[in-house]
Amino acid sequence: MGNAKAKLRPYRSKRDFTITNEPKGKKKGRKPAHRLFVVQKHASSTLHYDFRFSHKKVLKSWILPKGPSLNPSKKRVAVATEDHPVEYAFFEGPIPSGQYGEGEIIIWDQGRIKVEGKTKKSLKKGKLRLRLKGKKLRGAFDLVRTQKGKGDHEDQWVLTKVDDEYAETDGRRKTVTSAKPESILSGETIEDKQTPTPTQSPEEKPTRNPADLEKPSGGQEEFTVVGWIPSENRGSFRSLLLATPQKDGSLQYVGKVGVGFTDENLETIGKRLQRLQRKTSPLGEESELVPDDAQWVRPSQIAEIRFTAKTPSGLLRHASFQNIRNSR
């Protein structure tokens, strides 16, 4: 299977893209502006991590049951899985119930990667030396195949940190995954994103005010872009700050979106934001939820956003960027 379409056939066959928000990927695949890797934390039937890096217009992918380690003495099992589209490196959010891999996904780490030697040859040989430059994972790692898959069983690999200046060998109790459990995009953990379902006995009478419950009416709407959060690893911004106009003409903060962008629109939108930058907030009333490192813009851009729900205060849940335009 030489081209991206053929490589992505197993991935696409497992998913119904009329239900899930996961990216389908372009027909001919897309080569990212720079070579990247991503580690996604995935709360499906079992909590695990997915390690991926870009190669030949797809993401080569492995499941890490225990996640990565910075300790060279810890060998982490890595199970090869199907290639994913490059756009998946920016996917964060829920996979709906009944869909393959149902559950929450966060982008635990992301950054640039360098593979020593020829990647195709190293993959075939089953031995890769990777150099990562992410927010949480940095330095050299070895990815080595230990067993070839047979029948329905996938290849078994091991991911190990090389003993370099970024290694942790001091025997600290907390691993990098437990010390830094949050998403590098939203700052939320898997637990933050999982909405608890209230339970009650038949004898209990409900006392919760319906207005306090999260509105289940997800959909796709347009919101005013009022600012952005800068990023070191991901182009010129990490997420957009959104607001909705009120009857009095003011703008009310509704949250941020950091998922759904491609390398191309990250660059294009970033340049547009720089031209529209302003020193003061365009919001009618400051929200405690606005990040401290917010950068403000003239509210002349309208973003089309897909989301799963709204909180009682109007904040968006699991927002995903779709498009952007000038206000009319």
Domains in the chain, CATH or no CATH each: 4-192 (no CATH), 214-326 (2.40.50.140)
Q: Residue 118: its pLDDT value, please?
A: 95
Provide the whole-model pTM: 0.61
- Greater confidence (292 vs 103) lies with 103
How far is C-alpha 49 from the geometric centre of its chain's CA atoms? 12
Q: Phi first, then psi: what are they for 132, rounded to 5°? A: -105, 145
pLDDT tens per residue across span 114-161: 999 999 999 999 999 999 999 999 999 999 999 988 766 789 999 999
169: CB partners within 8 A, 6+ apart:
71, 72, 73, 163
Mean of the pLDDT values across residues 231-242?
A: 75
Q: Are 304 and 324 in contact (CB under 8 A)?
A: yes
Q: Is the pLDDT of residue 313 over 70?
A: no
Q: Which of 21-30, 136-145, 265-274 has the lowest mean pLDDT?
A: 21-30
Closest listed residue to residue 235, CA positions, set 32, 21, 29, 23: 32
Look-up: residue for tokens 């990777």? 130
253: number of Cβ within 10 Å: 24
